[in-house]
Amino acid sequence: MKTLKDLGDLKGKRVLVRADFNVPLDGTTITDDGRIKAALPTIEQLRKDGAKVILMAHLGRPKGKVVPELSLAPVAKRLSELLGCDVVLAEDTYGPDAQAKVAAMQDGDVVLLENVRFNPEETSKDEAERAAYAKKIAALGDVFVSDGFGVVHRAQGSNYDVAADLTAAAGLLVEKEVSALSRATENPERPFTVVLGGSKVSDKLGVIENLLDKADRLVIGGGMVFTFLKAKGYEVGTSLLEEDQIDKVKGYIETSAKNGVELVLPVDIVVNKGFPAGDTPIDPKVVPADQMPSGEMGLDIGPESCKLFHDKIVDSKTVVWNGPMGVFEVPQFAAGTRAVAQALVDATAEGAFTIVGGGDSASAVRNLGFPEDGFSHISTGGGASLEFLEGKELPGLKVLD
């Protein structure tokens, strides 16, 4: 995989950078700028090298239409603040305004193209249509840098097809992501513990299958755990449950035992009379994991499980975590996710290599107030991180080879 240092002298060159600025918004206010900050090292290095930096990214799912609420204007504003320079926003992705603003650039300037997903061709399944669109974007630049790790698992116009038209390399963020995830999966220092949460076990099937012969320990929480508990014959009340995955999970339980992989499940659960929304009162109770009431919903792991998970994580040399332990957005059901995050911080302090695997996990550690430098690596790619952990070939990386 080519990297920035393989591109040679970039002074005066127009460098197209595919970044990942798909940040959460409250109106026009960015509520988590972690992905923007993650892109800064590449942008700053290119500016230092005298390049003209042309950024492209998506925001939300406008489905090929111009949706003003999903304009990258708030991103341009935040980038200007973080970089200490004016980041000019083009009104389109490759049209007259983008062309004019790029033509006016001086060395070290930064232009942000408007949301690439305002163009239906960006995500088209028609390869010829996508390739023709990518050529229009590529005409704006001399070199392409892929730095949006959150989209490398997709073959889309601005991160895949553009690479066919220009000299292409990975940016510092993508290089860092690949290095960190490879270190955790190819030759991890042991014990190697994988912590999985989130709502659905089906979202993590590939990860579990790929890691059942690589990890020393699998720690399972979140909504997906109830399919595991049901597979063990336990009552799970009204909790999230994927009935069609029970037999597969039974197979995982058997395989983990056969392979000597320690499977760690919660010993107690925080339950409530339904999901905490609307008129549903919040009245949490802690029950043993094998004694859940039929009318209650599991929304977090309990205090004994928090201690158990903490001890298992701290007793590790490599830890990868993907997915919250409960409904962490509600304070009464955030203790499990907080305990896992704290365990990773403690493990890092003891010398372990720890990865927070993007998506909701990354949002959780920031929203719960954990320092980013408390972890070895916080991934910017939820889906991309998962597919990397599954051992899949990611098109946005393959095209850089």
Residue 179 to residue 146: CA distance in whole angstroms: 15
pLDDT tier at 292, thresholds 50, 70, 90: very high
Q: How many CB atoms lie within 10 A of CB 101?
A: 20
Q: Parallel, antiparallel, or unpaired for β 167-170 and 143-146?
A: parallel
Q: What is the pLDDT of residue 139?
A: 98
Tokens of 345: 């911080």
Q: What is the pLDDT of residue 401?
A: 86
Kindly tell me if the per-residue pLDDT of 382 is higher than 90.
no
Residue 95 assigned ligand-binding role: no
Kindly tell me if the per-residue pLDDT of 14 is higher than 90.
yes
Q: What is the pLDDT of residue 153?
A: 95
Residue 369 assigned ligand-binding role: no
Q: Among 2-6, 248-252, 277-281, which is the least confidently predicted range?
A: 277-281
Kindly tell me if the per-residue pLDDT of 383 is higher than 90.
no
Q: What is the pLDDT of residue 327?
A: 95
Q: Could you tell me the sign of the dihedral formed by the alpha carbons of 104, 106, 107, 109, in that order?
A: negative
Residue 375 assigned ligand-binding role: no
With contact defined as beta carbons under 8 Å apart, do 147 and 18 qualify?
yes
With contact defined as beta carbons under 8 Å apart, do 387 and 364 qualify?
no
Span 55-84, pLDDT tens digits: 999 999 999 999 999 999 999 999 999 999
Residue 149 assigned ligand-binding role: no
- CATH H-level superfamily of 188-389: Phosphoglycerate kinase, N-terminal domain (3.40.50.1260)
Residue 204 assigned ligand-binding role: yes
Rounded average pLDDT over 293-312: 97
Residue 307 assigned ligand-binding role: no
Residue 336 to residue 357: CA distance in whole angstroms: 17
For 279-301, the DSSP string reads T-----EEEETT---TT-EEEEE
Q: Which residues are catalytic?
A: 35, 200, 359, 383
Average model confidence (pLDDT) across the chain: 95
pLDDT tier at 97, thresholds 50, 70, 90: very high
- pTM score: 0.90
Q: What is the pLDDT of residue 358?
A: 72
Residue 230 assigned ligand-binding role: no
Domain with CATH 3.40.50.1260 in the chain: 4-175, 188-389
Span 306-342, pLDDT tens digits: 999 999 999 999 999 999 999 999 999 999 999 999 9
The owner of tokens 């320690």 is: 262
Indicate the class that CATH gives domain 4-175. Answer: alpha beta
Kindly tell me if the per-residue pLDDT of 170 is higher than 90.
yes
